[in-house]
Structure 1
Amino acid sequence: MPRPVRGARGAARTSFGRLLPAVPVVLAVLAALTAGCQAEDRDEDEGRSPFTGRPAEGGARVLAVKVDNAPQARPHTGLGEADLVYVEQVEAGLSRLVAVYADRLPDRVGPVRSARESDFELLAQFDEPALAYSGVQSRLRDEVADARLIPVSPDTAPDAYLRDPERAAPHNLYARPAAVLDAAPEAGEAGDIGFAFGEPPGEGGTRVDRHRVDYPNATFDFTWSEAADGTPGWQVAMDGTPVPGVAPATVVVQEVTVRDSEYGDSLGNVTPYTETVGSGDAVVLRDGQAFEAEWERRGERSGTEFTTPDGDPLRFATGQVWVVYAAA
């Protein structure tokens, strides 16, 4: 899908010479209007989370947790309190989650599993968040050290984790979010990652009751409910099993490049690498509707912006956001 040309110059240049006397006045008016709009935007955003659009005090530090999503890891703990949940493909066509917290910290989150190379690019936009994870393979340790995040594993902060004796290893490791952040006092604060919140586009949406995303060996269903746990949202089901206590207000199905990395698991499965810098198409689910969208992330330090096909910001509904990375 071709992207719209923004800020095009040179239109009607043949008339420009005759308009020169009015240019200073026009520029002054435009500057005043722009300043007014920016001030209104700042007023609207002030006191709200850049991740959910909910009222927030600001200054909250960011914690990302790498969450196991094998069938044996379910049901999860702490997903309902996450501001953001990213879904990514891992070995053998399975999936794993990255849950991001700032506004609300549950007592524990998990089960926690190992990080992947893709996570370092994804999390760079959060400006050095704390990362709770169970470890990485030896060849990735240098990349963890160089990544723009603060790694906190059971090896470096054992008191920030616990094992559930009623569950089988390795699906029984849980993080204590407050303790993880105590072990990462320099973790970055929540800031702009490109999201916009507000009313949906006036047109272009399609009413949908359910949307499915298929991975080679995993499925995600999002079903619209007017009263999911008391709040309208998208009921989540993984591999056909509903996820209790989780109903994101917005679900983004983002088409990305998923390629082989240089790494793999002990069974010989190649680890996929999900490219989150670039641009492409997306579907944004909100308010029981699906909207065609385009996404762009210019670099690792940049957030991801979502726009309508006409180039206008596509605003999310206030509340939890899920971003599902789907192979383009």
Structure 2
Amino acid sequence: MKLVRKFFLITSLIVVLASIAGLSDLTEITNKPEIERNVFNGLPGENNQILVVKIDDTEIAHPQIGIADADIVYVEQVESGLTRLAAIFSSKLPPLIGPVRSARISDIELLAQFGRVGFAYSGAQSKLRPVLAEANLENLSAERNPPSIYGKDPNRPGPVNMILKPDLLLERANAREATVIDIPVTAPWVFGDQQESLVQASQVEIKWPNATYRLKWSVEQEKYLIYFGDSPNLDASGEHLFVDTAVIQLVSITPSIYGDKFGGVTPFSKTTGTGKAILLRDGFSHEISWERESEEDVTTWRRSDGEVANFKPGRIWVFLTDQMPKITP
């Protein structure tokens, strides 16, 4: 009987100790701090104030500076069928960004979905300035900041020689009480595993009247490498730029009432309403749709079955065009 009682006592002690150890492990798991992820790129990182920089995208402007650190890059059509970038930074800031160029009317509607962003650009035509002033944008342009922040690169020709020091820009902006620049709260996409697709996309060609981008799937890097025309699209650091998720967003592009100093008509890319899109990730293409009821709403991306399309965490580029891309399996 004593042996039985002793056995039960030992067994009970083991169970109690195991329970305590289990609770300890559970407590550790429960108390483990949640990893902060950047809202825009879905990767571990901070959510700092949103800075949007307009960047020249003509051939003479390449290689561009600081693009590799952008969380999101929009490629939009400007005068003469060329393209210009709106690079969005939140998780981190590079020391320099450029070459900085002027704002366009499409930027107001496009950027409204991100809240009140800090908007960095070289300037704007006089007719557009009051419209920009009324928009929900914090004006951080070169027109309001000194050359110590918006400097000139002596090794680049004008007008593609304006280079921004973003840390000094935000420091100066935040020193003013009236400055309001949001941090990311909601992203215009959802991150998740790739949904079923039978369409391989080893190369994709995206066109505008006088500009072409190509995306080539790299099996080794498991990313789409970006080509500007036929040349590798390099950052000034020497890195071959890439995307983890690319979207060709088919939009209406129409002439606006604005123009450049050379007489070119500024096109307007409409990013509210509904339309079709091509989502590229993991070497596959997905035909999806987009919808955005008003400027304040974020864009929603849906599969053909109506479910929300999943983006891959990482760098995201959105190409705004009215031409269907050419996809090579």
Q: TM-score, normalised by structure 2?
A: 0.82
Any residues of structure 2 matched to 1:20-59 within 5 Å, and which? 47-58=36-47
CA contact (8 A) 2:46 2:90 kept: no
- Give the Cα separation in 2 of the matches to 1:145 and 1:275: 20
Task: Specify which of 291, 299, 302 is matched with residue 294 of structure 2.
Answer: 299
The alpha-carbon deviation at position 318 of structure 1 amounts to 1.0
The alpha-carbon deviation at position 226 of structure 1 amounts to 2.7
Q: What is aligned with 1:61?
A: 49
- 1:161-220 Cα deviation digits (max 9, x unpaired): 11111111110101111122223322111121321011011x234111100111000000
CA contact (8 A) 2:153 2:162 kept: yes
The alpha-carbon deviation at position 269 of structure 1 amounts to 1.6
CA contact (8 A) 1:67 1:113 kept: yes
Q: What is aligned with 2:213?
A: 220
Task: Specify which of 310, 318, 327 is matched with residue 313 of structure 2.
Answer: 318
- Give the Cα separation in 1 of the matches to 2:290 and 2:271: 10
CA contact (8 A) 2:81 2:208 kept: yes
CA contact (8 A) 1:258 1:273 kept: yes
Q: What is aligned with 1:99?
A: 87
- Give the Cα separation in 1 of the matches to 2:270 and 2:118: 21
CA RMSD of aligned residues (A): 1.4
Q: What is aligned with 1:193?
A: 187
Q: What is aligned with 1:17?
A: none
The alpha-carbon deviation at position 126 of structure 1 amounts to 1.4
- 1:11-38 Cα deviation digits (max 9, x unpaired): xxxxxxxxxxxxxxxxxxxxxxxxxxxx
Give the aligned residue type for 1:78. Answer: G
Q: What is aligned with 1:84?
A: 72
- Give the Cα separation in 1 of the matches to 2:125 and 2:169: 21
Task: Specify which of 166, 169, 178 is matched with residue 158 of structure 2.
Answer: 169
- Give the Cα separation in 1 of the matches to 2:128 and 2:78: 15
Q: What is aligned with 1:36?
A: none
- Give the Cα separation in 2 of the matches to 1:183 and 1:205: 51
The alpha-carbon deviation at position 80 of structure 1 amounts to 0.7
- Give the Cα separation in 2 of the matches to 1:266 and 1:156: 21
User: Is residue 2:231 matched to residue 1:238?
Assistant: no
2:247 counterpart SS class: strand
CA contact (8 A) 2:72 2:315 kept: yes
- Give the Cα separation in 2 of the matches to 1:238 and 1:308: 29
The alpha-carbon deviation at position 268 of structure 1 amounts to 2.1
1:193 counterpart SS class: coil
- Give the Cα separation in 1 of the matches to 2:99 and 2:223: 24
- 1:140-160 Cα deviation digits (max 9, x unpaired): 110111111111122211132
- Give the Cα separation in 2 of the matches to 1:305 and 1:117: 22
1:138 counterpart SS class: coil
2:199 counterpart SS class: strand
Task: List structure 1 segments (4+ residues) > 3 angstroms apart after TM superposition.
Answer: none
Give the aligned residue type for 2:298. Answer: G
Q: How many residues get paired? A: 279
Task: Specify which of 255, 268, 289 is matched with residue 260 of structure 1.
Answer: 255
CA contact (8 A) 1:150 1:184 kept: no
- Give the Cα separation in 2 of the matches to 1:163 and 1:227: 38
Any residues of structure 2 matched to 1:120-139 within 5 Å, and which? 120-139=108-127
1:285 counterpart SS class: strand
- Give the Cα separation in 2 of the matches to 1:300 and 1:108: 30
2:285 counterpart SS class: strand
Report sequence identity in percent: 38
1:291 counterpart SS class: strand
Distance of aligned partners of 1:289 and 1:114 in 2 relative to their CA distance in 1, 3 Å threshold:
same
CA contact (8 A) 1:221 1:237 kept: yes
User: Is residue 2:138 matched to residue 1:147?
Assistant: no
